[in-house]
Amino acid sequence: MKQLRRRFLQSLALAGGSLPLLPVAVREALARSEQGYPRLLHGPMPGAVGPDSVLLWMRASGRFPVTVRYGTSEDLADARFSDAVPAVPEDDFTVRVALRELAPDTTYYYRPYVDGEPAKYLETRPPFRFRTAPAGPARFRLGFGSCARWQEFPRQPIWRALERWQPDLFCWLGDNIYADTVEPGIMSDLYKIQRAVPEYQAFGTRVPQLAIWDDHDYGLNNHDSESPMREDSLRLFQRYWANPAYGTADAPGVYFRYHYGGVDCFFLDNRYHRTPNDAPDGPGKTMLGASQKAWLKGELKRSATAFKLLIIGGGWSHNPAAFGEDNWTSYRHERDELFDFIRDEGIEGVLLMSGDVHRAEANCIPRSEQGGYDLFEFVSSGLAQDTPIPEPIEVPEVRLREPYTGGYNAGIVDFDMTQADPVVRFNVINSSSQAMWDEAVTVRASELRNGVSSWRRKVDPELPNPRRQDPA
């Protein structure tokens, strides 16, 4: 068929004819035929989801319009079509299709269409599905993790383990790819390779995904605002994710606020505005940058939820031996400024989340000793990465559980916002879907108020020396 079309075009040229003289419908059909089969190369993947909307990310095989047919019936008997979004080379043929006017807490089924037809090779499989966010406080499960090094670990069984736990939402906490390059094309390739990992497919098409970055998907190891990939990495991050926002108009980045089921989540950017790690600490040294920090303080003051989750790539705990390393120890002044602000403004319910360290941890920063409340940190790292035993400079202020260093892992955080005193429980799963700690770390909203000290009763009684003892 393609040879016949080429001969037809050649005959037109020999006869002095031209495509513009043909009917419009014929010209368009011939133009499409020269682009190959309309299909999806990557995705679909749900991104930011709300009670009445969702963003669906996917990548087409050429310059085709992409639409989605969706409804609440699995056979799509009640289906309607989204608006069409053109796939263009300037965005590597990626699209984000918005579905709106949805019902809250409802399963929707959907099928992508490329160039007006069901996406080739997907048309015979059952429709994909996602679930909208609840309209108010709810019980829900959040999965999270970081560090997926495809180059060493192309097989990633953690995704099938996560699929069995069925989280409502998944958060990538950075090092989502290991780009380590100053070539945008290489970084782009690695996003597409990770998105195509076979074990990821079922999970990635169903569970809404949100993301921030860390150093390896920002550009180079431990890099900061001086990175030569600073602008390119942000452009590519926006291309391959479907977050609700990317910084502000005045201060770009990958940070944003997101609400789900009665919990406010503050996804933070620890790279774009960052001072180098080894610079002297003090009021002028920053991980967040002045604009992002002011944004965060303002958003925290406006938040009225029982839990407020601060999500970042690098660890929150301080260890004086680790100054110059790639975590908050090197930015102690700014970290304590933020924690003092939380205390002084009476902001309740703050929880911490991080990745990066190539193991899973449950830690605490005992801020009740400074008149605030204890800040609990949930850590998961090693979606596809080695998990070595931590070195002495990596010991946090307080350990609540023995670190998990047994291989691939993901964090599981269960929220119950329907109780009078809302509760959150944190555990870690391995690639066999097993929970790694006999008892989850449980925190109630009433414990996250100034003057309340609660960390001691949460420590595993079999854990020796849970509190780090620094030299006098």
- Say how far apart CA 173 and CA 409 lie, in whole Å: 13
Q: Which residues pair with 22 in a beta bridge?
A: none
Peptide bond preceding 461 in cis form (omega within 30 of 0): no
| Averaged pLDDT, 442-469 | 96
Tell me: pLDDT of 3 over 60.
no
For the segment 302-348, what is each residue's pLDDT rounded down to a tens digit? 999 999 999 999 999 999 999 999 999 999 999 999 999 999 999 99
Phi/psi region, residue 143 (left: phi>0; alpha: psi -120 to 50; beta: rest), is: beta
Whether residues 375 and 399 fall in one domain: yes
Task: Please give the helix or strand (H or E) that residue 184 lies within, else none.
Answer: helix 184-195
| Averaged pLDDT, 363-373 | 98
Whether residues 222 and 363 fall in one domain: yes
Whether residues 18 and 162 fall in one domain: no
Token digits of residue 243 = 């977050």
The pLDDT assigned to 66 comes to 98
Q: Give CA torsion, residues 436, 153, 310, 339, to 10 deg.
A: 90
- Say how far apart CA 79 and CA 112 lie, in whole Å: 12
DSSP 229: T
Whether residues 339 and 378 fall in one domain: yes
Of 131, 161, 193, the domain-final residue: 131
Residue 104 lies in a domain: yes
Q: Are strands 65-71 and 80-81 parallel, antiparallel or unpaired?
A: antiparallel
Residue 469 lies in a domain: no
Tell me: pLDDT of 251 over 70.
yes
Percent of the chain with pLDDT over 90: 91
The pLDDT assigned to 36 comes to 83
Whether residues 296 and 426 fall in one domain: yes
In this structure, what are the phi and psi dihedrals at residue 120, rounded to the nearest 5 degrees?
A: -60, 145
| Averaged pLDDT, 101-118 | 98
pLDDT bin (cut points 50, 70, 90) of residue 17 is very low
Coil, strand or helix at 378: strand
Token digits of residue 221 = 């190891």
CATH code, 93: 2.60.40.380
Whether residues 432 and 294 fall in one domain: yes
Q: Which residues pair with 65 in a beta bridge?
A: 86
Whether residues 49 and 161 fall in one domain: no
Residue 217 lies in a domain: yes
Whether residues 349 and 249 fall in one domain: yes
Residue in the structure block whose two tokens are 């600073």? 230
Whether residues 127 and 275 fall in one domain: no
CATH code, 359: 3.60.21.70
- Say how far apart CA 329 and CA 397 lie, in whole Å: 11
Q: Which residues pair with 55 in a beta bridge?
A: 98
Whether residues 200 and 170 fall in one domain: yes
In this structure, what are the phi and psi dihedrals at residue 331, rounded to the nearest 5 degrees?
A: -135, 40
Tell me: pLDDT of 94 over 90.
yes
- Say how far apart CA 161 and CA 184 lie, in whole Å: 32
Tell me: pLDDT of 2 over 60.
no
pTM (2 decimals)? 0.92
- Say how far apart CA 71 and CA 78 lie, in whole Å: 6
| Averaged pLDDT, 436-455 | 98
Token digits of residue 374 = 């204890």
pLDDT bin (cut points 50, 70, 90) of residue 232 is very high
Residue 442 lies in a domain: yes
Whether residues 262 and 308 fall in one domain: yes
Tell me: pLDDT of 472 over 50.
yes
Residue 414 lies in a domain: yes
- Say how far apart CA 383 and CA 157 lie, in whole Å: 9
pLDDT bin (cut points 50, 70, 90) of residue 252 is very high
Using CA atoms, how far residue 419 sits from 136, 240, 303, 445, in Å, is 13, 37, 19, 10
- Say how far apart CA 430 and CA 182 lie, in whole Å: 33
Of 76, 106, 131, the domain-final residue: 131
Q: CB under 8 Å to 242, separation ≥6 — which residues? A: 45, 46, 47, 48, 55, 56, 57, 96, 209
Tell me: pLDDT of 24 over 80.
no
Tell me: pLDDT of 5 over 60.
no
Residue 291 lies in a domain: yes
End-to-end CA distance of the chain: 81
Domain span at residue 116 reads 40-131
- Say how far apart CA 427 and CA 440 lie, in whole Å: 5
Whether residues 197 and 238 fall in one domain: yes
Q: Distance of alpha carbon 220 from its chain centroid, rounded?
A: 19
The C-alpha angle 318, 383, 361, rounded to 5 degrees, equals: 30
Q: How many domains does the chain have?
A: 3
DSSP 320: G
Residue 310 lies in a domain: yes
Q: CB under 8 Å to 141, separation ≥6 — which residues? A: 165, 166, 167, 168, 169, 412, 413, 414, 415
CB 99 within 8 Å of CB 70:
yes
- Say how far apart CA 97 and CA 207 lie, in whole Å: 16
Coil, strand or helix at 423: strand
CB 358 within 8 Å of CB 145:
no
Of 72, 106, 131, the domain-final residue: 131
Tell me: pLDDT of 458 over 60.
yes
Residue 393 lies in a domain: yes
